[in-house]
Structure 1
Amino acid sequence: MPNPVRRLLPQCLWEMPGTGRTLYLTFDDGPIPEETPFVLEQLARFEAKATFFCVGENLARHPDIARQALAAGHRLANHTHRHISGWTHSRPDFVADVGRCQRELDQLLPVPEARPLLRPPFGRITPPLARTLSVTHQVVMWDVLTCDYDQDFAAPRCLETAIRYTKPGSIVVFHDSLKASRNLRYVLPRYLAHFAGLGFRFETL
């Protein structure tokens, strides 16, 4: 993300510098039965932990998959209830949608988090909205977007690009979604193998 955008959104978390050879993998849009179990299997192969930014509607449909992620030591976080854009919805509507997703999350968590994580869908958030939401949530962006959802992005190129831009402390975005399936299933195991081979750890935010 360009530095001017980061300066406009100082409340947001973009990366985790100073954490050594650690990467922070995140998965947006799930949980869904078609893709999330595959992700959990790949993470388990490398003893990797990750953060899942969940759509509230999917949590309501598939709470059992969300519980599997929790049981494996992963973290669940907020990706709004209906996967809506902060650029095209009013501030009250967006905040209400975040709250609805948070209620779904809180039903699954043993203890509700004091300051849960939130990622706005598409990364679309305005500075005023970010200030409002940062009172209750840590808004999380990224410094590596794999573009696994892009149907015009060939899987080998997707992997090459993701590896090239990853550095210690990176927050990396994948998607456990049908749209991302082709690239996700090619890139994720190879990405994990590459960085595990270099001695990196994968942790939750």
Structure 2
Amino acid sequence: MANSNIQVLRRIADTVYKIVSFFFWGSIIFFVLFIGNTIWASFLPQDSFTAESGIRHWLIQLDNDSYWHISVLVPFTNISPIDLSRFSVKSAFLTYSITSNLTLFPALLYGIYLVKRILENTIDGHSPFTHGNVNNMKQLAYVLIAYSLFSELIINIFVWIFVTQIFKLSLANIHLFGAGIGAVILIISYIFQHGVYLQEEHDTTL
């Protein structure tokens, strides 16, 4: 790549890196707040939690007069629209909140970390076509595909065990868009892998 193009690419990568770092630390703060909030909610009485069935979701609310109100929308694909007497609303709130966030945040944080690594390699290197970037892109694709395919399954297993004793599994539990994005990133990683080969061929001729 021409030096002028590399310098422009580095400046863009540096700007994006700062934005991604902001989101990375912001996500960590949200995750810590979630942990604290979950611990607090686990000590509240059963009658602090209410549930209302909607068209496609349960609206489960934590309503404690001494603090603030918290609500979560739980899709019917996770908890069936059954009678409230058949499950504990508190257990539903805690189980869904914990499993959904513990599948989301690790994948999100690791994905952002990989993006940071890709940007760091681009900023520090003489070309974005490096083995490190290829490996990071492949890992990012695998994380996105795995989350899209299995996150809802994990949630449903825990809801089945701790809440409803009803196991649900359908195609609606698969995030096809996320899996598709992961597949596209995986294809791009192989294009980058070929670019690394061409870059090495170019470097050896200089």
TM-score interval, smaller chain: under 0.3
> TM-score, with normalisation over the residues of structure 1?
0.24
More helix by share: 2
> TM-score, with normalisation over the residues of structure 2?
0.24
Structure showing greater relative contact order (alpha-carbon pairs closer than 8 Å, 6 or more residues apart): 1
Q: Which structure is larger by alpha-carbon Rg, 1 or 2?
A: 2
More strand by share: 1
